Amino acid sequence: MMQGNWTVVNEFVLVSFSSLSSQLQALLFLLFLTIYLVTLMGNVLIILVTTADSALQSPMYFFLRNLSFLEIGFNLVIVPKMLGTLIIQDTTISFLGCATQMYFFFFFGAAECCLLATMAYDRYVAICDPLRYPIIMGRRACGQLAAASWFSGFPVATVQTTWIFSFPFCGPNRVNHFFCDSPPVIALVCADTSLFELEALTATVLFILFPFLLILGSYVRILSTIFGMPSAEGKRKAFSTCSSHLLVVSLFYSTAILTYFRPRSSNSPESKKLLSLSYTVVTPMLNPIIYSLRNSEVKAALRRAIRRTLGFRKL
């Protein structure tokens, strides 16, 4: 549709993996479908186990449950559409659909960054100030920290998405990505976006880099406390309580920082797609696996749940 001197864009085309052969796209569909199902089942299992098992009612597992909810939402926003582009070549997405996908991508991404920082603070208090831990991390405080983490996604998602989709799009509508991320969409805008890009950089620093620095500071204090413990057994137990979270943080932030803080000249669309796959598809699948395999309390709870299930079946 023409308006003035430009074409009004009513839909976008996700380039996704269209440069690959149909056989390779079919293989990717099977791979991503498997990862998607494992992600959903793993995170739902974490939610159920940490809710039902009385031994997993500490703040750490309350925040882990919130993380699993976020990972499920993150996956639902990105993966179903990507699977459609691979198997039935449904590469078009409406203007509203693109805006909605981008909004919830920003929302879940910002909320996860803040929640990971909250989880690091929880581990900091548990290891560095264990006597005051029940007082500082009471039920009310945990609820407020979790709510603040979830709420943090609203301002960045609202401002970024509203601003981007208020720009005029002058005709080219091919988004060189497998979802509506802001850099490939903003590249289609036919107006000066320098002010928005400055705001986007500020938001990225605030919601990605600042939480990361808080996590880094927490773990510097945590490691300093652990190394100062007199017994080897105490060190082992203290480190085991935070090793899973540290691994999850490393996976998430390494790919996110490489994606959004690399110079444009060294950030080709294909490398950005590969990095985006890491934190939108692979990491949400690995999180429940990491917490299940590296956490003895979660493993014990899973064994108890299996025994109860088998016992009911025998009856």
What is the reported pLDDT for 2? 45
Asked whether 143 and 101 are in contact (CB, 8 A), the reply is no
Beta bridge mates, 92: 13
How many other C-beta atoms are found inside a 10 Å radius of the C-beta of residue 11? 12
What is the reported pLDDT for 315? 44
| Residue 231: Cβ-neighbour burial (10 angstroms; 0-12, 13-18, 19+) | exposed
What is 11-302's CATH number?
Answer: 1.20.1070.10
Domain boundaries, the chain: 11-302
What is the reported pLDDT for 291? 80
What is the reported pLDDT for 263? 63
The residues of the chain scoring below 70 in pLDDT are 1-8, 261-269, 293-294, 311-315
What is the reported pLDDT for 55? 79
What is the reported pLDDT for 104? 96
